Structure 1
Amino acid sequence: MSQVIECQCEVCVKACSHRPGWFLPGQIEDVAKFLNMELKDFFDKYLSIEWWSGKESGGKDIFVIAPAVVGYEGEMAPCDPRGRCTFLTKDNLCQIHPVKPFECAVYHHDMASDVGKNLHKELAVSWIRFHQQVVELWGGEPEAREPESFLDMWPVGMTM
């Protein structure tokens, strides 16, 4: 898909405060092993389920296992999952940097937005064949959450 980039500039770190990057299928097992955790425990403590809307792709929603936004660990992500990545430490370092999600590994602060959106879609499509893993970790068939109001898109802990 793309080349791995190493950058820890302020702009790139800020991306981790804005929205977590997505894993490729197979990466979550490597991260669980890196943290010496069982996969289900790892999911419950650090991950959530996000989705690529079927409305954007002309088909069914695609579910993706991703790092959680703080406050959504082990849950379905909100419809617009913005907020601090659960792996970003208080020192603004990545707790899993050697095994970070693919999207984080290839992100660069000067990436064009259309390139980033295409990458995001490619990652979503790569999860189609791994839907059963999502179902097993979630404990059932996931459903995309549509916002009932604009407040449903407001990040946890944020005040007006």
Structure 2
Amino acid sequence: MENCSCKECVSACLNDPGRLVPDDILKLSQFLGISIDDLKENYLVRVPVTSNGHTAYALAPAKKKGQRYIANPGTVAPDYYAEEKGRCIFIDDRDMCSVHEAKPFECGAYMGCRNTFLGKPYRAKTVEEYFYKRWKSK
């Protein structure tokens, strides 16, 4: 995966942070020096991912709009969550990622300036299926 910090790529972090894959959970909890339960309760929300009419729940960084959370960490995000713009909980006051060294998978897989996911043209359905496959048995 490539690394990019241009305004178009960073705009995802400021407007619509991505989802995590299961391997991100342990990596982030270790980086932050907290338990997995603390990570889930204080930083993440559960978001639906669908494929062929089936739904699983992925974990994603909570989003903030101003000083309020769009969905409180530790909860299931409401239906409108994906459409609501908000900054990633891990973005600091300088618009820098506080967990960059433990960068979650989608943060490295999505390149906003090229509109690609894993080096291929971004297709919402394909990306949704990708996350569904990783979370369906969790």
User: Could you tell me the TM-score, scaled by structure 2's length?
Assistant: 0.81
User: How far apart, in 1, do the equivalents of 2:116 and 2:28 lie?
Assistant: 28
Number of the residue aligned with 2:80:
80
Number of the residue aligned with 2:38:
41
Aligned residues: percent identity?
A: 29
Taking structure 1 as reference, are residues 75 and 41 closer, same or farther at Cα in structure 2, changes over 3 Å only? Answer: same
Structure with more of its chain in strand, by fraction: 2
Q: CA RMSD in A?
A: 1.8
**How far 1:64 moved relative to its partner?**
0.4
Taking structure 1 as reference, are residues 112 and 32 closer, same or farther at Cα in structure 2, changes over 3 Å only? Answer: closer
Taking structure 1 as reference, are residues 112 and 7 closer, same or farther at Cα in structure 2, changes over 3 Å only? Answer: closer
Is the contact between residue 103 and residue 120 of structure 1 (CA under 8 Å) also seen in structure 2?
no
Q: How does 1:15-54 map to 2 (within 5 A)?
A: 15-53=12-50
Q: How does 1:1-160 map to 2 (within 5 A)?
A: 4-53=1-50, 57-70=51-64, 71=69, 72-81=72-81, 82=84, 83-109=86-112, 110-112=114-116, 115-117=122-124, 118-130=126-138
Structure with higher Rg: it is 1
User: How far apart, in 2, do the equivalents of 1:128 and 1:96 lie?
Assistant: 26
Q: Which contiguous aligned blocks of 4+ residues in structure 1 show a shift greater than 4 angstroms?
A: none
Can you give the 5+ residue segments of structure 2 that lack an aligned partner in the other structure?
none
Letter in 1 for 2:127: L
User: How far apart, in 2, do the equivalents of 1:88 and 1:73 lie?
Assistant: 15
Is the contact between residue 5 and residue 107 of structure 1 (CA under 8 Å) also seen in structure 2?
no
**How far 1:77 moved relative to its partner?**
1.4
Is the contact between residue 32 and residue 42 of structure 1 (CA under 8 Å) also seen in structure 2?
yes
Letter in 2 for 1:93: M
User: Could you tell me the TM-score, scaled by structure 1's length?
Assistant: 0.70
User: How far apart, in 2, do the equivalents of 1:15 and 1:27 lie?
Assistant: 18
